[in-house]
Amino acid sequence: MIWIIVLAIIVFIAYKFIRSLNEDNKDLMGLTLDKRFSSLATYINHAAFSNQGTIISKRNNDFAIYKPGSSQIVEFLYSAKVLTITWKFKYMQQEMIHRKDIQNPIIKSEDDLLNIAEKLAYEVSDKMKAHINKIDLQNIF
């Protein structure tokens, strides 16, 4: 009897997961994530890499912006109606990671998304400065 309950729970979870993935694909309207959120990607590329970053698409629901030789990478992942932006910065072999989740980005206007991107760029800039200062202070002592 317990096995039937466990199996029913597993089937229910698998159903919810597959349904969520199908909704993600429908939200993206057949576009890759970098195309669906191109204005956001363009703003982040400008802020992080002076428009010289390369977009690397892995799957339909994620991509990264990277510039060869740079000490940072920005990753985007869309799943379950949440866009997660992970900004990684490495300084003196120590990595700083800043993660931002945007709930229901599909229904947000372009202006809202650009405001979020601008705020994110400022947050990361401040966090990078603090990270560099912390590492430099550790190296002095």
pLDDT above 70 covers what percent of the chain? 91
Are the CB atoms for 41 and 116 separated by under 8 Å?
no
Joined together, the tokens standing for residue 1 give 């009897």
- At 80, is the secondary structure helix, strand, or coil? coil
Q: Considering its fold, how many domains does the chain have in total?
A: 1
pLDDT (tens digit per residue) in 56-87: 988 888 999 999 999 999 999 998 889 999 99
Amino acid letter for position 64: A
- At 64, is the secondary structure helix, strand, or coil? strand
Radius of gyration in angstroms for the set of CA atoms belonging to the chain, rounded to a whole number: 19
Q: What is the pLDDT of residue 20?
A: 66
Strongest mean pLDDT among 11-20, 30-39, 128-137? 128-137
The domain in which residue 66 lies consists of: 2-140
